[in-house]
Amino acid sequence: MKPKYHILNNAKYALEGIMALFKNEIAFRIEICIIIPAILISFFLKVSLIEHLILIAVLILILIAESFNSAIEACVDLITDKWHQRAKIAKDCASAGVFFSLILALFAWIFILVDLI
């Protein structure tokens, strides 16, 4: 039987997920070390509220994509420890999602920062 929904339990599970990302994913730790200072820097930029929200949103999107990537990799690793073409495709596609989020963030930051010059 599925346990009843409880917002505090769900928040606890989300925090446990964040801790698992910190503990097990070096890419997540590297991204956090870049994203937190970038968010702090964004507060000092002379940009509109919408531009500021875009700068922060694209950075958060990277963390979201990395979270899904890590979840997919964990599920694939749970199913098989052997190399399989479909497992590779699943992991590579999840990794592509992170790559696309990084490219989006890079273009958004460049576009907005170049507009400041």
Catalytically annotated residue among 16, 51, 66, 73: 66
Does 51 qualify as catalytic in the annotation? no
Q: Is 58 exposed, middle or buried (0-12, 13-18, 19+ CB in 10 A)?
A: buried
pLDDT at 1: 61
Q: Name the stretches of the chain with pLDDT < 70.
A: 1-3
Q: What are the residue ranges spanned by the domains of the chain?
A: 7-116
Within 8 A by CB and 6+ apart from 22, the residues are 28, 29, 32
* CA 4 to chain CA mean position, Å: 28
Q: Which CATH architecture has domain 7-116?
A: Orthogonal Bundle (1.10)
Rounded Cα distance between 43 and 80, Å, is 45
* CA 115 to chain CA mean position, Å: 26
